[in-house]
Amino acid sequence: MSQFLDEVRTTIRRHGLADSTEKTYVSWIKRCILFQKYQNRDEMTRSPRQDIERFLNYLANDLDLSASSVNQALGAIIFLYKSVLRVDMPYLDIPRQKSVKALQHPLDDAEARELLSHLHGQDFLLAAIMYGAGLRVNEVCSLRIKDFDFAHCKILVTDAKGGDHRLTMLPKQIVAPLQAHLTLVKKRHDQDLQRGHGYVWLPPALRRKYPQAEQEWQWQYAFPSRQLSRHRREPENMTLYRFYVSPNSISRSIKIAAQASGIDKRVTPHILRHSFAVSMRKRGYSIEQIQALMGHKSAKTTQYHYLRSIEPDIEGIRGPLD
């Protein structure tokens, strides 16, 4: 099986999918293979639709997984058959389960500021950018030095979800602490260079085009990891890189800060992005403006997933019994 899963990983990378997508797809595909007890490729392509439906029914009925998890598994299996096994897609026209999107409870401005007051250093800056500019946790963690335009208070978000790029604002209140933070990051980078390191990972095509860029300051991550490590997708590459901080790290810090703040809501990095959208809408900005800042392809996503939690103004409305 390991050899086949390596082929799956290679196909995923050829399609340019994210690391997180690779882990998710490989996990679901492995579970499907074990469930069906496949021994070879021929068995996998003998009756794909029936096999897939049996696996999805097992997930939904026996394991009682949510509709979103089942749909995620279906996406991975469809990728397997379409891109790896190259089975005709009409046979895989399986409807997705309808998932119910839970109503989120964003933080109001006072709660957000209280939360930020319990964060310090790099954690504070990461959370402040998510709340103040609407970035996703992976987007803010992977920002590079070149992505900040301090003169115009802008952030360039590159390689966002879907591979898109966009501009958003850099909150003026964090410019000074962010610059102080980058001074420390620069000092660490200079020390790395003196020790023969100072490399940041770049896509292979970019490395070939700019051979010296890996050690240049502008390409370094603004929120670097404490450890040097090799790139797991390039086992033949022995270079030690300084990657960006793990998103799990800021997630833990935000959870601890929420508990210290006494906020009795579920607070995650995504809630900070959600709170940004709600706060901007309450300030009078249009859905289209918020959509552009958040990087949504459709205004419907902005409206339904982020702004429907805004409580309607019902003061003055009289019901039929009043």
The one catalytic residue in 15, 23, 161, 186 is 161
* Two tokens, residue 66: 């949510």
Tell me if residue 230 is catalytic.
no
The one catalytic residue in 118, 136, 144, 281 is 136
Tell me if residue 306 is catalytic.
yes
* Two tokens, residue 184: 């420390």
The one catalytic residue in 31, 166, 270, 305 is 270
Residues whose CB is less than 8 angstroms from the CB of residue 129 and which lie 6 or more positions away in sequence, other chains included: 135, 140, 143, 155, 170, 171, 174
Tell me if residue 273 is catalytic.
yes
N- to C-terminal Cα separation, the chain: 68
Tell me if residue 105 is catalytic.
no
Find tokens 């340019």 and name the residue.
16
Tell me if residue 15 is catalytic.
no
CA 249 to chain CA centroid, Å, is: 14
The one catalytic residue in 25, 221, 241, 306 is 306
CA 295 to chain CA centroid, Å, is: 12
The one catalytic residue in 242, 273, 274, 281 is 273
* Two tokens, residue 98: 């309808």
Q: Which amino acid is at 314?
A: I
Tell me if residue 144 is catalytic.
no
Give the separation between CA 70 and CA 58, rounded to whole angstroms.
Answer: 10
Active site residues: 136, 161, 270, 273, 296, 306
